[in-house]
Structure 1
């Protein structure tokens, strides 16, 4: 069986050119992950957006491919194709995508208005976050405050410490901070990972990117990352440290600078396609990363 990919991230293309022998890491109902060395390449439907380590194919072709694939199966990349035992995935006509988050020019009023729309939208959501220690409403109420007050709640205190570290390099022990957040929560991408990705994304998009913070994150991942979180969570964090993100995350950040609230709300709906809880946790991180715009 032969299938052709439509799009692929530049980093996924670069990885498979350097290391050609791998295996099927994991298989799901609508996607799969390939492992080359200790890094992953995600293969999914082009309709679901693209991660910075992803390949996108037509949904119907993906369904056929998934029937021929199982976890642990060897795979080899050779002459522009992935070769499985009973299938091939061609890469000869892919559109290569760049997932680097730009620093946008924006009107402050547009961003502050959209932050308020985003908070209101999240208040209306019935679901909760991936964190069991605190509810969504407590965090959102805190985000509405113009300044961080002394909070008794330990999770809010940790959020304030993360904010101070990310923006001002005030926290003197990065490892302790990353130990708290990275790998925290359940799922393929733990909630703490999603929150950090969202924070970095908004900071990059709104001109608050902090090179020291990103280097601290990358150093931590190199030393401890694979022992602290899932392989998939690691990938999203690694690329966030390089200012690269899922296409839905880039679209969400871009919507924050728009004058119309409807683009922002449409992007919120799109974010939930990443996975409801994962999308919500990432949005909370974005609110933290955008907090300084409001003053």
Structure 2
């Protein structure tokens, strides 16, 4: 069969090492913007950048993504050839080369920030969430949550869990942390359930501010590695987040929340909110929960 070679224009810097360790795999899942392959226990996304640079991605052009997607079949074999730097798909007529592609990383790093940026952008984020047409996949009433947080209204159902999560990020009690995390992990529909998207946003705030207890991150990693509690794709996003690696849209919004004026932050926020059915909203809402937790710690 005559093979057509396509080229990865950009790829996350960890991809070559991952493929060297796990050279055989299968097509995991396909969707509008690309497809995932599973190599060993790891997921690699191959597709366009409509949702920004993915932390475990190989990005190809929109045009190439359309042609490649037509040839992908679920569970079809994939293997990596180190010498040629190509991914082979034996049941199709395509190969994917990393030769000439550029590496990227969207790592968030701990930095100090000005309190006025935090206060102003927390208000900006709240107003954006309240005025956005999208809704959380967790069915949260943001306005009522704020009332419950302020103690002027009783917390209901999901609100109680969110308030407990805000306590859990500071906790050193394994049982408390585990109870809260297991409520949100895998909660919701889709390849990245809403509860996981929320945790991604939450972790992005801590990546910069570094205020969670080490026990919180340790417990989350343990659950992800030892339990089938969410989707493979969501698990991959969360494991990268625990290494402070995010999609470019999450990274840009999180950094803007801390270091930019509200107008620029709002611009980055709208880009994030445009992703997925509720994924962008849930991630931004997770950032809000993280910033609210940080504000409370600073006030104490």
Within the candidate set 36, 45, 51, 2:54 is matched to 51
Gaps of 5+ in 2: none
| Count of aligned positions | 289
Query: Which residue pairs with 2:33 in the alignment?
Result: 30
TM-score by length of structure 1 reads: 0.91
* 8 Å contact from structure 2 (residues 34, 46) kept in 1: yes
* CA separation of 1:138 and 1:14: change in aligned 2, threshold 3 A: farther
* 8 Å contact from structure 2 (residues 107, 244) kept in 1: yes
DSSP 3-state at the match of 1:42: strand
Query: Which residue pairs with 2:264 in the alignment?
Result: 263
Report the Cα distance in structure 2 between the residues aligned to 1:141 and 1:89, rounded to whole angstroms: 52
Please, which moves more after superposition, 72-81 or 174-183?
A: 174-183
Query: Which residue pairs with 2:283 in the alignment?
Result: 282
Query: Which residue pairs with 1:219 in the alignment?
Result: 222
* 8 Å contact from structure 2 (residues 256, 264) kept in 1: yes
How far 1:149 sits from its partner (Å)?
7.1
Query: Which residue pairs with 1:248 in the alignment?
Result: 249
Query: Which residue pairs with 1:118 in the alignment?
Result: 125
Query: Which residue pairs with 1:83 in the alignment?
Result: 88
DSSP 3-state at the match of 1:279: helix
- Listed as ranges, the matches of 1:1-295 within 5 Å are 1-78=4-81, 79-84=84-89, 85-132=92-139, 134-142=140-148, 145=150, 151-169=154-172, 172-224=175-227, 227-294=228-295, 295=299
Report the Cα distance in structure 2 between the residues aligned to 1:171 and 1:151, rounded to whole angstroms: 27
Report the Cα distance in structure 2 between the residues aligned to 1:151 and 1:243, rounded to whole angstroms: 35
How far 1:47 sits from its partner (Å)?
4.5
Report the Cα distance in structure 1 between the residues aligned to 2:207 and 2:218, rounded to whole angstroms: 14
DSSP 3-state at the match of 1:219: helix
Report the Cα distance in structure 2 between the residues aligned to 1:293 and 1:113, rounded to whole angstroms: 14
1:155-197 residue CA offsets vs partner (Å, 9 max, x unmatched):
1221111111112435633332222110111111111111111
1:206-260 residue CA offsets vs partner (Å, 9 max, x unmatched):
2324322111110111111xx2111111111111222221111110111112342
DSSP 3-state at the match of 1:263: helix
* CA separation of 1:207 and 1:178: change in aligned 2, threshold 3 A: closer
Gaps of 5+ in 1: none
RMSD: 1.9
